[in-house]
Amino acid sequence: MNLVLLFTMIVASVIFVALVMVITRWISPRSFNRHKGETYECGIPTQGSTWIHFKAGYYLFAILFLMFDIEAVFLFPWATIVQELGTKALVGVLFFLFFLILGLAYAWRKKALEWK
């Protein structure tokens, strides 16, 4: 009985996703022009070369910010119920923090946090 229900749900999910994709393709607006194929297409013709150099440090800094922001999102719910979870949860979160601190130390050593 459970396998029939599981199979029915999988088939229904696949049909639903396929149907949504077909309907989206059918009703979505389309426009074709030569500016669509350009790098950084925004509707305005580019001037000059689009191959410019920029510092990747800004990108790395943003990724590190997101990583530690997500850490805070995961730690806050844990901190609210820490007494109910016990020692296993404490060891688990210390393991989690160890790897995040290891990542921060790696980024610091590679000078990804400097604005030069």
pLDDT tens per residue across span 24-62? 999 988 777 766 666 665 666 667 666 667 677 777 778
Is 115 domain-assigned?
A: no
- Residue at token pair 């923090």: 97
What is the reported pTM? 0.47
User: Is 51 within a domain?
Assistant: yes
Residue 116 lies in a domain: no
Confirm if 100 and 71 have CB atoms less than 8 A apart.
yes
Tens digits of residue pLDDT in 90-110? 888 889 889 888 988 988 888
User: Which token pair is 12?
Assistant: 């229904």
CATH at residue 62: 1.20.58
Q: Is residue 97 included in any domain, yes or no?
A: yes
**74 part of a folded domain:** yes
> How many domains does one find in the chain?
1
7 part of a folded domain: yes
Judge whether 14 lies within some domain.
yes
Q: Could you tell me if residue 114 is inside a domain?
A: no
> Which residue range is the domain that position 91 belongs to?
2-109
Identify the pLDDT of residue 35.
63
The structure tokens 């580019």 sit at 46
- Identify the pLDDT of residue 2: 86
Beta strands in 1-116 (DSSP E): none
Query: For residue 58, what is the enclosing H or E element?
Result: helix 57-80
